[in-house]
Structure 1
Amino acid sequence: MALEIKVLDYGDIELESSFLVLGHDCGRVKRVPVYGFLILGGSHPVLVDTGYRDNAIMESLGMRGLQFHENMIENQLAKHGLKPGDIRYICHTHLHIDHAGKDDKFPMNTTVVVNRREMECSVSGLMHPQYPMPDIQHLVERIHTPGALRFEDLELTGEIELIPGVTLEAANAHTEGSMNVHVQTAEGRATICGDVIYDINTQIVEPYRQTQDHEPQVTGNHAGSKRAEKAAIKKLLNSSDFLLMVHDKPAKVVDKQIAGRLDMQVPGPVVSSLPKRNWFPV
């Protein structure tokens, strides 16, 4: 059976626009979604990212959380006939406040998978308060519980297989330990790339204030170099057929260019079989 990717809606965030794309619409507030991704059809259910803990915690970053009852992770999983205890692995693209806030809703026999470099960054204080205390404290507790936490060293090992059809790879952008999750689907390779890309249109399709050919714009929130972030985006365009971001609609890639966007207004589950009626051209 081909692997399917279900998009989970964890609510929205209101934030200053230039946080998303460097220098773009400074001072203006933008509302963006927060997505998680459920991978089904393989040997085990795999969840990628768990969203933010609650609306109040987003205030620590000067942002507004818009999370309602339907966005609770238990309710999002229930739409697909699952409960937290059914999830075998939780993979984190990284551990920022809006990605790892609900891990404590899952039992300790659900294994959380993190790139070790990301865990190191989360306790270093370098990007405080983007790594909030309750989220990281819970992960530290998992370190001391057999099987509750799994570290990968992706910068050293290269791409590794989690389950058949799902592989993990260092993103080398956004945070020092960010990772991409690749899913092999019937239509090609779909990559869940976290926050390596925030805004497809303004970073890639019509990159803000970029004049060179095939030159993406960087985000306003990256821990590494601008050169590394540009290279990571180019690598995604060169190696994936579909890109799934946490704060923007999924995108279809053809000949290393964005060729379509998924219409998230179409009702029903969004799957990696990607029916044509759900896509609209750029």
Structure 2
Amino acid sequence: MALEIKVLDYGDIELESSFLVLGRECGRTRRVPVYGFLILGGRYPIVVDTGYRNNAIMESLGMRGLQFHENQIENQLARHGVRMGDVRYVLHTHLHIDHAGMDDRFSMNTTVVINRREMELSASGLMFPQYPLPDIKHLLDRLHTKNAMRLMDLEITGEVEIMPGVTVEAAGAHTEGSMNVHVETAEGRATVCGDVIYDFNDQIVEPFHEINAMEPRITGNHSNSHRQEKGAIKKLLNSSKFLMPIHDKPAKIEAQQVVGRLDMAIPGPISQTVPRRDWFPA
């Protein structure tokens, strides 16, 4: 059975627009979704990212959380016939406030997989307070519990297989320890890319304030250099058929361009096409 990916809807957040896309609409508020992903079709279910702990915790960043009963991770998994105890691995693109907030709802029998560099950063004070204390304390408990955590060294090892058809790789963007999750589906490689991309339209399709051909716009929230951020986006566009960020609907990629958008399943129907004018027809 081929692997498939279901989108988990953990609610929305409201935040400043230039946080998402560098320099865009400074001072204005945008509302974006917070997604996680459920990988099905393998030996056991795998979850990628777990959302934010509660609405109140988002206020520590000056943001507004909009999370309701149906957005709780137990209820999102139940929509696909999966219980919390069925999940073998929780993979984290990174450990920011809206990505690792519900890990403590999983038993210690579920192994949380993190790039070691990201775990180091979570206790470094860098990008504070995006690594909230309750989330990191729980991860430290896992660190000291047998088999409750698996630490990757992706900058050294390169891409690593978690189970057949699922691999993780250093992202090289957003945070120094971020990782991408690659899933081989019946229609090609799909990649959960965390916060390397926030907004397909203003970063990729019509990049905000960019003038060079096929030059992506970076986010306004990163700890790496601008060149590293741009390069990481270009690598994703050059290597995956589907891209799945945490704060935008998935996209289908062809020839390093966004050609369509999907909804809550990958593979799945194209919900929106993204036509581009051909300036030089054959």
TM-score with structure 1 setting the length: 0.96
The equivalences for 1:8-27 within 5 A come to 8-27=8-27
Aligned residue among 236, 261, 273 for 1:280: 273
Query: Which residue does the alignment assign to 1:36?
Result: 36
The equivalences for 1:130-279 within 5 A come to 130-262=130-262, 264=263, 270-276=264-270, 278-279=271-272
Q: Supply the distance in 1 between the matched residues of 2:250 and 2:86 (Cα, whole angstroms).
A: 25
> Aligned with 1:109: secondary structure?
coil
> Aligned with 1:142: secondary structure?
helix
1:73 aligns with 2:73: yes
1:108 aligns with 2:108: yes
User: What do the CA deviations read for 1:34-81 (whole angstroms, capped 9, x no partner)?
Assistant: 000000001121000000000000000000000000000010001011
Q: Supply the distance in 2 between the matched residues of 1:53 and 1:186 (Cα, whole angstroms).
A: 34
> Aligned with 2:77: secondary structure?
helix
Q: Supply the distance in 2 between the matched residues of 1:147 and 1:40 (Cα, whole angstroms).
A: 22
Q: Runs of at least 4 residues of structure 1 off by over 4 A? A: none
Q: How many residues align?
A: 275
Read off the aligned partner of 2:210 and give its amino acid letter.
Answer: Q
Residue 82 of structure 1 and its aligned partner are, at CA, apart by 1.2
Gap regions ≥5 residues in structure 2: 276-282
User: Is the CA contact 1:89–1:111 (under 8 Å) kept in the aligned structure 2?
Assistant: yes
Q: Supply the distance in 2 between the matched residues of 1:190 and 1:126 (Cα, whole angstroms).
A: 30
Gap regions ≥5 residues in structure 1: 265-269
Q: Supply the distance in 2 between the matched residues of 1:95 and 1:174 (Cα, whole angstroms).
A: 11
Read off the aligned partner of 1:28 and give its amino acid letter.
Answer: R
Residue 279 of structure 1 and its aligned partner are, at CA, apart by 4.2
TM-score with structure 2 setting the length: 0.96
The RMSD of aligned alpha carbons is 0.8
User: What do the CA deviations read for 1:164-205 (whole angstroms, capped 9, x no partner)?
Assistant: 000000000000000000000000000000000000010011
User: Is the CA contact 1:3–1:272 (under 8 Å) kept in the aligned structure 2?
Assistant: no
Q: Supply the distance in 1 between the matched residues of 2:200 and 2:265 (Cα, whole angstroms).
A: 20
Residue 256 of structure 1 and its aligned partner are, at CA, apart by 1.2
Q: Supply the distance in 1 between the matched residues of 2:124 and 2:44 (Cα, whole angstroms).
A: 33
Q: Supply the distance in 2 between the matched residues of 1:162 and 1:259 (Cα, whole angstroms).
A: 29
